[in-house]
Structure 1
């Protein structure tokens, strides 16, 4: 698109429009100052009942930036997405600070110390360690091979997490299909299955379930109670993938004639196997924080940091550093390992975690908050839970909000008592858990591995769909599947 009106501008018109987002956040900040908002009295967090819906605008702004700027101004976005995320974060923090002084410090510190940093440390550890595992050999992207790789990744996701499984499996899958004319569907189904639905059987699989485990939900409770939902979704998606892949494969005569379009030779094998042991160290560190309760902690900016969580983070950091030190550089180089995907996730989710603070506060306020109509949908007139609505409300919010805090909102809305939820309200807890984990696949920002897989695939030359293009895939495939599951399991 040619620039108009500013011939000396180094950016095309779309980029100059995109740069306006930085100014928009400042203008929005001025507007927000006129909107009343109060900090909660006593305890962390904000008083969601006192917050107007205008405070959700920075969050909506960062979501729209992620969705639109890569299309309208790709050059600008590629170089400045971190600044855009920071601008939207400041659009909440600065006006709220001007209105309420230091009232934002504790909610911000709580988000950074208890949510964002553990989130990034876990993802970085899994990303780094999994990036040192290289699957070698003659992999040919036939429908059967692709089906096998997706099945393995789906099963692996509940053992080493959706991030770990995604990072281990995406690169061999990309190499196997790098000569195909049609390979976008392979990555899309990979995100559906490996980066999301496969992580629903243990607390290690996905952060929402881990938070439930920390609050008293049994470790194997999801394995026993979500097996039929997870199995149904996985089998349907794998069968649909095979049908689509088989048809496209038959129409790609050039690719079918090659045994292996990649330069790999020899039998299939695994290099960097030390990293498999380090993944188990990460699993052990996560389990430690959920089972070891020494009752020791310290205060930082008014937030209590518990010893077991600090120990977990240090173990994960040590495991990642050990992987960097002990894995031959040649293995990472041949694996196409680079830091870009995790840096993109860290920067964008920093903005998301900050701007989501008032949104979650309003959701926690339930019937007294700005989102009371949404909250009212999950409860019948007689006070009983509407499980279908718990599934969809949790899921739709998890498609665009971070699914871990969204899970907690509805977990607490359903009573917050793990023993009661695991027994008398088991179906409700399954609905909340399935909504948070399954529907994270509905958009690129629903779950962190989605973004990393997209970035890695694009780096390998796959023309991944845009933000809305991907949602067209999920709307056409996942939404009908979830509607069927609603009738079968939650009606």
Structure 2
């Protein structure tokens, strides 16, 4: 086990153990209605740092991005403590870390480690047809093993298949669009927003039956567009495929395949098994979620201990991507907390004007507004808590939302899952894929350049989805 990984595992285990230590009742959080939009400045600051510093101060960013991210978190927490008290600041920090960040990073770490221990062998050559097939397979797998699991399983085979090509950036951009986002829209396992809906009472197969048409429309169009783009790039480049011995496609690292399935089982189990609640650093946390975190850490440790270094080396596996995600998203979660609180305050908060747009004067929800508002905010806030904000704004009753308000719930679900693809930070796998691709020497678009790809290829598609599916009341 590498020193870096051992340190990371100890840190993750330490966070989990610290979360289990009983704590006194700290001051409650500050209601979003009491917060002005100025509290969102640190969140804007960290977004701009991620977007601009790699371009303007690349050396500084790559060596100190963790410290810069921590600075933005401090620039929220310290003024917050000065204005509302240290107890309120601690409560806010503990709430984010215990209920949101630790479960998030524990699941991500387990999927990253186990998925990176599965080696897809075979003489794959990155022709337009093969690449399109790989994207299609990853898109289907995303709803069965999660967008993170599918992305970690397939990103390295796609990198190897296209190693001989020069024009290949578009392949990894569409990989993020499809495998890391839209592919996860059919089950609660697929993407965190749908899983949070499942925990709140939405039926397991409701997304499968109610989002399939939107999913299929997006996937068919994007795969067709990708095939055309990749064919044009192939014809322009005229690459010479490497001469390789014929090898049947197969898998190595079957232990990790079973570990990925175990992770999926734990995720589903946390939705069905109810073990009560406990106090964790002043936060009320379900016991089953604590058990889930410990199981994710155990699965990670098993994968590290029993996967051969030779297999991980053959897979091009490295720990840098997950460490980058862990550091940056810790600060992102902290800095976006006041923004989400303001949104949750609804008509009583500083974003009341935005909230008012979601309903007609008589109070009826407007599905297309829910789709775009959930989607645009999911592009830059984490899409899971954004889903919950609009789920609650639409009434919060799962039976009503699955019934007479089914179109509104479908709009919220599609907005959160689909538009998480609009930026690198909309969904955690996006950033992981970017980091892994860059670790392998392939240049990815900058933050704003990637958003430009989304504007060109995704936004027109989402307009079409709106016109076909979400115009009704």
| Global fold match (TM > 0.5) | yes
1:238 positional shift: 0.4
Summarize deviations over 1:259-312 as a string: whole Å, max 9, x none: 45xx776322211111111111101111111101122x3212321222111111
> 1:402 touches 1:447 (CA, 8 Å); kept in 2?
yes
Summarize deviations over 1:356-409 as a string: whole Å, max 9, x none: 111111001111111111111111111111110100000000000010100000
Structure 2 unaligned blocks of 5 or more: 1-25
Cα–Cα, structure 1 residues 432 and 43, in superposed 2: closer, same or farther, change >3 Å?
farther
- Identify the residue that residue 127 of structure 2 maps to in structure 1: 142
- Identify the residue that residue 278 of structure 1 maps to in structure 2: 259
Equivalent residue runs for 1:28-427 within 5 Å: 44-101=28-85, 102-253=87-238, 255=239, 257-260=240-243, 266-295=247-276, 297-427=277-407
> 1:137 touches 1:264 (CA, 8 Å); kept in 2?
no
- Distance (whole Å) between structure 1 residues aligned to residue 255 and residue 348 of structure 2: 52
1:208 positional shift: 0.6
- Distance (whole Å) between structure 1 residues aligned to residue 247 and residue 33 of structure 2: 63
- Distance (whole Å) between structure 2 residues aligned to residue 58 and residue 223 of structure 1: 38
CA RMSD across the alignment: 1.3
Summarize deviations over 1:134-172 as a string: whole Å, max 9, x none: 112211001110011000000000111000000000110
- Distance (whole Å) between structure 2 residues aligned to residue 345 and residue 44 of structure 1: 29
Cα–Cα, structure 1 residues 385 and 44, in superposed 2: closer, same or farther, change >3 Å?
farther
Cα–Cα, structure 1 residues 268 and 57, in superposed 2: closer, same or farther, change >3 Å?
same
Larger RCO of the pair (alpha carbons < 8 Å, separation 6+): 2
- Distance (whole Å) between structure 2 residues aligned to residue 144 and residue 432 of structure 1: 33
- Secondary structure in 1 aligned to 2:458? helix
TM-score by length of 2: 0.92
- Identify the residue that residue 13 of structure 2 maps to in structure 1: none
- Distance (whole Å) between structure 1 residues aligned to residue 80 and residue 319 of structure 2: 34
- Secondary structure in 2 aligned to 1:88? helix
Query: Is the counterpart of residue 432 in structure 1 residue 412 in structure 2?
Result: yes
- Identify the residue that residue 17 of structure 2 maps to in structure 1: none
Cα–Cα, structure 1 residues 265 and 323, in superposed 2: closer, same or farther, change >3 Å?
farther
- Distance (whole Å) between structure 1 residues aligned to residue 235 and residue 125 of structure 2: 14
TM-score by length of 1: 0.89
Structure 1 unaligned blocks of 5 or more: 1-41
- Secondary structure in 2 aligned to 1:304? strand
Cα–Cα, structure 1 residues 43 and 419, in superposed 2: closer, same or farther, change >3 Å?
farther
Aligned residues: 445
1:125 positional shift: 0.3
> 1:45 touches 1:361 (CA, 8 Å); kept in 2?
no
Larger Rg over CA atoms: 1
- Secondary structure in 2 aligned to 1:336? coil
> 1:105 touches 1:301 (CA, 8 Å); kept in 2?
no
1:44 positional shift: 4.9
**Higher alpha-carbon deviation: 147-156 or 92-101:** 92-101
- Distance (whole Å) between structure 1 residues aligned to residue 347 and residue 108 of structure 2: 34
